[in-house]
Amino acid sequence: MEWKKNEVYETEIIDYTTEGAGVGKINGMAVFVPSTAIGDKADVKLLKVAKNYAYGKIETLHTPSPHRQTVDCPIFDQCGGCTFRHIDYASELAFKQKRVRDTLTRIGGLAADLVQPIVGAAQCDGYRNKAQLPITMDKNGQAVVGFFAPRSHRVIPLTHCHLQMPVFNEALRVFLSWANRYHVMPYDETTHSGILRHLYLRYAEKTDQLMVCVVANAHQLRKDKQLVEMLQQALPCLTTVVLNVNTEKTNVITGKTCHTLYGQGYITDELCGLHFRLSPLSFYQINRTQAEVLYTLAAECADLQPHETLLDLYCGTGTIGLTMAEKVARLIGVEIIPQAVEDARRNAAENHITKAEFICADASAAAAQLQTRGIRPDCVVLDPPRKGCDSALITAVAKMAPQRVVYVSCDPATLARDIRVFADHGYTVKKAVPVDMFPRTTHVECVVLMTKCE
């Protein structure tokens, strides 16, 4: 059949892509339609046509899917932060479950029954404990904050975001009224002029502590005392206010230098019973409640014994290993970013954990080095970035011959690829548990337990 751009065709949505767009068929060809739901019957206008597939948008929705729900955000279509506000949570979880199951069975060669039911979140909104909002000037000369539209630097202004901690909405309102009252200018990236680049907010849920960080194209902030006063008056949980200096022409949000304007320059949160210090530049899990669920699952898989050695590779600020430390004799963490390693060491000290050591190195290099030093961990936890592990790392881990490998993954595709490499080294998957850390988005985490075949 001939496809024609801008022509309208009738179709039914039967599946989703990994990016969460609906998939329909027109005479056997796939058409991808964002913001649709399985079961939608619609006339779709083709916007981009390739040989075997096309992209389209809904022209007329004849029969809405029973999985649809009312979209409760006015900027859902423009902002790109959420993919799934238009379908119910059960359907979103079904999408994530299927995505993990299909990927692990097709690419990873896993038996489907090893993939357990996804662990959903109790709360789909208000879970993000960190927000980095670009600041810009609107047509009326007022400072606004928002999100960048997908693949662009156009700021979509917002006054309220459902995914964020509710306290952030009040913080951004106060911040903007300060900026507009005292005419502190938003930064303009085309002319590299103006001051205010990003409003960066962090909230420690368990301890009710708020950090407001202003990322500025300046070494000092005019009217900073007034900002602190206004925030203090409106927000009883305000704990610290920080100025982060970023005078570079760059897309990177934060600069290297921070000046504390109020409080101690950091907040402290509690995770799995331990305390973690969060400064503007330190890494912390975005969804604290689900991070506890994820770490608890990882600990169950690890099944640690008091005499054992645990190796936590890609350890970040040490959170996974430290929350398991009381169960083992020795903990070794490996992380490539020096500042994260410093944070991990301090986190260990502040929680009075003396059996932990942290190595600042590439995970593969460190694993190979530990192996030559004769260190034989009983269990290895891996939590790599999206690109997964390289095969040199998997070889080095296999040489250390741990009984159990717990792989915490944020990308099912690279996880599936890595499971195959582990299989070549004699490791079999015992179970895979998908976990929803980021409701309303397409992201899905997964905890996998592999054991060494005897």
Active-site residues, by number, are 410
Question: Whole-number minimum distance, CB 366 to ligand SAH, in Å?
Answer: 7
Q: Tell which one of 14, 50, 90, 337 touches ligand SAH (CB under 6 A).
A: 337
Which CB atom, from 7 or from 362, has the smaller least distance to ligand SAH? Answer: 362
Cα separation, 76 vs 375, in Å, equals 51
35 binds ligand SAH (CB under 6 A): no
334 binds ligand SAH (CB under 6 A): yes
Residue 248 near residue 254 (C-beta atoms within 8 A): no
Q: Tell which one of 92, 224, 308, 335 touches ligand SAH (CB under 6 A).
A: 335
Question: Whole-number minimum distance, CB 290 to ligand SAH, in Å?
Answer: 12
Radius of gyration of the chain (CA): 24
445: left (phi over 0), alpha (psi -120 to 50) or beta: beta
Query: Residue 42, class by beta-carbon neighbours within 10 Å (0-12 exposed, 13-18 middle, 19+ buried)?
Result: buried
Cα separation, 280 vs 284, in Å, equals 10
Q: Tell which one of 362, 399, 441, 451 touches ligand SAH (CB under 6 A).
A: 362
- Non-local (6+) Cβ contacts of 218 within 8 A are 195, 245, 247
Residue with tokens 């430390």: 325
353 phi and psi angles, rounded to 5 deg:
-100, 115
Q: Tell which one of 56, 81, 194, 316 touches ligand SAH (CB under 6 A).
A: 316
- Non-local (6+) Cβ contacts of 280 within 8 A are 200, 202, 211, 213, 242, 244, 254, 258
Q: Tell which one of 135, 195, 325, 363 touches ligand SAH (CB under 6 A).
A: 363
Question: Whole-number minimum distance, CB 110 to ligand SAH, in Å?
Answer: 23
**Angle at Cα 151 formed by Cα 149 and Cα 152, nearest 5°?**
60
Q: Tell which one of 40, 125, 378, 383 touches ligand SAH (CB under 6 A).
A: 383
333 binds ligand SAH (CB under 6 A): no
Question: Whole-number minimum distance, CB 260 to ligand SAH, in Å?
Answer: 24
Strand 130-137 and strand 53-63: pairing? unpaired
Question: Whole-number minimum distance, CB 361 to ligand SAH, in Å?
Answer: 7
436 binds ligand SAH (CB under 6 A): no
340 binds ligand SAH (CB under 6 A): yes
Q: Element (H or E) spanning 297, and its range? A: helix 288-302
Which CB atom, from 12 or from 205, has the smaller least distance to ligand SAH? Answer: 205
Which CB atom, from 235 or from 392, has the smaller least distance to ligand SAH? Answer: 392
**Cα distances (Å, whole numbers) of residue 383 to 95, 155, 389:** 23, 33, 9
Q: Element (H or E) spanning 213, and its range? A: strand 209-216
46's tokens: 């083709």
User: What residue is closest to ligand SAH based on CB?
Assistant: 316
HSE-up of 8 (CA within 13 Å, CB side)? Answer: 7
Which one of the spans 102-110, 234-242, 335-343, 398-406 is the region binding ligand SAH (CB under 6 A)?
335-343
Cα separation, 153 vs 127, in Å, equals 25
315 binds ligand SAH (CB under 6 A): yes
The residues in 221-260 that bind ligand SAH, with binding defined as CB under 6 A, are none
**Angle at Cα 439 formed by Cα 434 and Cα 441, nearest 5°?**
95
Which CB atom, from 29 or from 272, has the smaller least distance to ligand SAH? Answer: 272
Question: Whole-number minimum distance, CB 68 to ligand SAH, in Å?
Answer: 35
Query: What character string, x for contact with ligand SAH (CB under 6 A) and - otherwise, covers 262-301?
Result: ---------------------x-x----------------
Which one of the spans 70-78, 151-159, 168-176, 311-319 is the region binding ligand SAH (CB under 6 A)?
311-319
Cα separation, 418 vs 340, in Å, equals 25
Question: Whole-number minimum distance, CB 186 to ligand SAH, in Å?
Answer: 31
Using CB under 6 A as the criterion, which residues of the chain lie in contact with ligand SAH when the complex forms? Answer: 283, 285, 314-316, 319-320, 334-337, 340, 362-363, 383-385
